[in-house]
Structure 1
Amino acid sequence: MFLIMLRFSDNKSAAAEYMQAHNAWIAKGFEEGVFLLTGSIEPKQGGAVLAYNIARAELEKHVTEDPFVAHNVVTAEITEITPGRTDPRLDFLNE
């Protein structure tokens, strides 16, 4: 499992220009079964993605395809998490 932190860069003002393409990138991640959750980092610092069922190298490539990353609207940091203990509703993470 991976946590992707997408923090706004100095080019934050360009976000509106790439928002539609960024949202399409998010939708693709959900359609592919890779993204489990997306949301904002408050207060207005960027966004976060919880990804699963993908190899790190493939995820890194996928992240570079985010228009926000490609156009330096955000910088991406990927953190790998190995689940140890989970709520029973998340048992699929331990498979």
Structure 2
Amino acid sequence: MFVLELTYTAPVERVDALMAEHVAWLDAHYAAGVFIASGRKNPRDGGVIIAVGDDRTRIEEVAAADPFAAHGVCAYRITEFLATKTSPALAPYRQQLPG
């Protein structure tokens, strides 16, 4: 599982101008089952996305395709973690520690 943390690198007005494209990109990855949660940070200096998958390279490619990243209005920090404990609703995403 991955935490994708976005930090805006441009004024929020430039971010807002790309918001519709960003939301369409989010929707496509929700539909594909890659994203399971996302939202703005408070204060509004970026956002956070929770993504599922085992391939860091693929997640990096997904992040690079975000219109925010492609147009240079945000930087991504990607953290991989093993979700060994989850709420019951997230049980399908629970992971095992390597043996």
Fold shared per TM-score above 0.5: yes
CA contact (8 A) 1:33 1:53 kept: no
Superposed CA offset, 1:41-60 (max 9, x none): 11111111000135211111
Q: Secondary structure at the match of 1:78?
A: strand
Aligned to 1:85: 85
SS state at 1:82 partner: coil
Flag structure 1 segments of 5+ consecutive residues without an equivalent.
Answer: none
- Structure 2 stretches lacking a partner, 5+ long: none
Where in structure 1 do 4 or more consecutive aligned residues deviate above 4 Å? none
Q: Name the counterpart of 1:53.
A: 53
Task: Report the CA distance between 1:20 and its aligned residue.
Answer: 1.1
SS in 1 for 2:48: strand
- Secondary structure, aligned partner of 1:85: coil
Structure 1 window deviating more from structure 2 (31-40 vs 16-25): it is 16-25
| Displacement of 1:92 | 1.1
The two structures, once aligned, show a CA RMSD in angstroms of 1.5
Q: Which moved more, 1:29-38 or 1:4-13?
A: 4-13
In percent, how many aligned pairs have the same letter?
31
Larger RCO (alpha carbons 8 Å, 6+ apart):
1
Q: Distance in 2 between matches of 1:24 and 1:49?
A: 14
Matched residue SS, 1:89: helix
What is residue 14 of structure 2 aligned with on the other side?
14
TM-score, reference length from structure 1: 0.89
1:40 aligns with 2:40: yes
